[in-house]
Structure 1
Amino acid sequence: MPILNRLEEARRLDGVSDRLQSAVSAAVRPQRLRDLLHGTWLGHPLHPVLVQLPVGAFVSAAILDLLPGTRRAATTLVGAGVAGAVPAVAAGWLDWSQMTRDRRRVGLVHAGANAVAVGLYTASLLARLRGRSGRGRALGYAGLTVAGLGAYLGGHLAYAQGGGTNQAAPDTARLPEDWTQVCSLASVPEKRTVVRLAGDVPVLLYRIDDRVSALVERCGHETGPLGEGDVVGEGWDACVVCPWHGSTFRLSDGAVVHGPAANNQPVIPVRVRDGHIEIRQP
């Protein structure tokens, strides 16, 4: 939609976005907490999981508000939704802080709409607790309407802009289907990463003795160049650290060790034949 295209290009939002990004990064410093909120331990972003509770509670409350004798149950659901929004918001803001500027512009409006929705539901909860059921229902439906707008923007951010998806996954489909030589084994130094091309796909190679691992070289988080990242650790427990946002992947199997990436880095099948390294599609 043209209006969303204009939002993606709305550079006037960057001043606010940059300040908020710095504030979020400063507020959430412990690596364990960052990994928890990013969903590194889960294998995909945590934010979409957490939003199921408030969304489900709010929608259920809206349905109950249409039925007689369900006032207490609807109030309980609105309270659960407001409480459940807190961790969802925290995870969402942290993910947002590690996105590119065009995604952060859409994400900023997405977050703003959801903040208004939670505010309306909080007011709805207070009205219900004070016995003003009609006002509580009206505020609840207003909150659901605004939350729908926020959800629409969140869908655009995820599906149209690729926010939170594994940016490296499409590269695996562009690799050769059959075993293909990429370089000689001798040209790959031990215990260091090197980048070689398989067709037009950069591949990250890591070697110890005659054993080689291969990963898609573009970081799955925001396509950062892993070939320029530092190698930390020893042996097959060694990891590569993305130079852009610090996502850390184990070189032996692509497992994500630290976020903001929440997905493993795609692993490429590799073998050594007659002194040459060969790779193919998974």
Structure 2
Amino acid sequence: MRPFDDIDRLAKSPALDKVAAPLRDAVHKVLRRQDVKDALHGVWLGHPLHPMLAQLSLGSFVSAGVLDVVPRTRRPATALIALGLVSAVPTAAAGWADYADGHEEQQRVGVVHAAANGVMLAGYAASLVARLRGRGGRGALIGWAALAVGSAGAALGGHMAYHQAMGANHAEGYPHIGPGDWTDVGTVAELPEGEPTRRIIGDVGVLVVRRGEQVHALADRCAHASAPLHEGRVTNGDGPPCVVCPWHGSVFRLDDGAVVHGPATAPQPTFRTRVRDGRLELAVTGYAAVPAS
């Protein structure tokens, strides 16, 4: 049996939905402002924010555990624990934002991940109190116990990121497997005005939108969770035209694939377009140079 088979069983346990679903709904109710959600997802960074913050929190706790073994270093260990507890607040906020836009199996593992982290933080809070009261040895023991629980929680987080691909760029492969040569995908006349449609070139699906004489083409699978963008809707506001993901509401500019709103943080790969004798040809391009502002 593989070491992480038990985690896979967690992911397939519907019993956890009794906790996971209400928590998801609660997070959506709290995080109503789009700009706050975008900030917590890491849209401004072009990369998920939670894993980066988690390194600060867990790194502080691990460093404190090491210092607790070395004589006369428990005072800096206390400072590191305080830093870890403070940094855990934005870390948890970013994690809950990502959790709410995950799929069911990710959320089931996420609930257990959050529970382990909650126990860890409670343990470190108790450790900090003991240290501040002059009970350094007791504080160190509690800290090591908290670190053991936190390590299990970190393993669950790693499983979500690498095994379940939560936060991964699901459109990463397009520039590498999409045809670089011009490929005929049919007549321009058959494309409905302003409506998302899907075309296949080589081994990949492409979202195609015709707006007057201009044709936009992006990778069809959303970078956030591989949703089919051709099932989404095209916005026609004051700014550049965009496509809205049908699953989690990520918004991408049609002209360059840049992220306007999350939960996606990676842009959509784009395709070059040209019309020859009334027929549309596509060729893969790559990524937008910068995120939308």
* TM-score range normalised by the length of the shorter chain: over 0.9
Q: 1:110 — aligned with what?
A: 113
Q: Which residue of structure 2 aligns with residue 168 of structure 1?
A: 171
Q: What does the per-residue CA deviation read over 1:58-81, in whole Å, with 9 as the maximum and x for residues that have no partner?
A: 122112112222222111110010
**1:63 pairs with one of 55, 58, 66:** 66
Structure 2: which amino acid aligns with 1:50? L
* Alignment RMSD: 1.8
* Equivalent of residue 34 in structure 1, options 25, 30, 37: 37
Residue 126, structure 1, aligned to residue 118, structure 2: no
In 2, Cα distance between equivalents of 1:268 and 1:135: 61
Alignment check: 8 A CA contact 1:106 1:157 kept: yes
Q: Distance in 1 between matches of 2:258 and 2:7?
A: 35
Give the deviation of 1:119 after TM superposition: 1.1
> 2: distance between equivalents of 1:173 and 1:235?
34
How far off its partner does 1:41 sit? 1.3
The equivalent of 2:84 in structure 1 is 81
Counting only pairs closer than 5 Å after superposition, residues 92-103 of structure 1 correspond to structure 2 as 92-103=95-106
Q: Is the 8 A contact 1:237 1:251 kept in 2?
A: yes
CA contact (8 A) 1:38 1:94 kept: yes
| 1:272 Cα deviation from its structure 2 partner | 2.8
Aligned amino acid, residue 12 of structure 1: A
Report how far residue 175 of structure 1 moved.
2.4
Residue 83 of structure 1: how far off its partner (Å): 0.5
In 1, the alpha carbon distance for the partners of 2:266 and 2:5 equals: 31
> Partner residue of 1:51?
54
| Residue 75 of structure 2: aligned partner | 72
Q: Which residue of 2 aligns with 1:243?
A: 246
Q: d(CA) in 2 for partners of 1:122 and 1:157?
A: 26
Q: Which residue of 2 aligns with 1:195?
A: 198
Q: Is the 8 A contact 1:111 1:150 kept in 2?
A: yes
SS at match of 1:3: helix
Query: Structure 2 vs 1, CA of residues 236 and 94 (structure 1 numbering), >3 Å: closer, same or farther?
Result: closer
Deviations 1:239-260 (A, max 9, x none): 1111211111111111111111
Determine if contact 2:219/2:268 at 8 Å carries over to the other structure: yes
Shift of 1:147: 1.3
Query: Please, which runs of 5 or more residues in structure 2 have no aligned partner?
Result: 286-293
Rounded Cα–Cα distance in structure 2 between residues aligned with 1:155 and 1:31: 27
Who is 1:180 aligned against? 183
C-alpha displacement at 1:261, in angstroms?
1.2
Residue type of the alignment partner of 1:133: G
Task: Give the structure 1 partner of residue 288 of structure 2.
Answer: none
Aligned mates of 1:217, 1:205 — CA distance in 2: 8
The code of the aligned residue for 1:266 comes to P
TM-score (normalised: structure 1):
0.94
Q: CA deviation at 1:281?
A: 3.5
After superposition, give the CA deviation of every residue in 1:175-212 in whole Å (9 maximum; x if it has no partner).
23422111222222443322212245221112344432
SS of corresponding position for 1:168: coil
Aligned partners of 1:191 and 1:235 also within 8 Å: no
User: Does the 8 Å contact 2:274/2:281 carry over to 1?
Assistant: yes
Which amino acid in the other structure matches residue 36 of structure 1? A
Amino acid at match of 1:73: P
Structure 2: distance between partners of 1:112 and 1:171 = 37
Contact 2:54 2:91 (C-alpha < 8 Å) held by counterparts: yes
| Structure 1 unmatched runs, 5+ | none
State the Cα distance separating 1:55 from its structure 2 match. 1.5
TM-score normalized with structure 2 length:
0.90
Distance 1:2 1:189 in 2: 47
| SS at structure 2 position matched to 1:223 | coil
Q: Say yes or no: does 1:11 pair with 2:14.
A: yes
Contact in 2 for aligned 1:172/1:268 (Cα 8 Å): no
The C-alpha deviation readout for 1:88-123, integer Å capped at 9, x for no partner, is: 001101101111111111111111111111111111
Residue identity over aligned pairs, in percent, reads: 50
Q: Of 140, 147, 155, which residue of structure 2 is paired with 1:137?
A: 140
Deviation track 1:103-153 (CA, whole Å, cap 9, x = no partner) reads 111111111111111111111111111111011101111111111111111
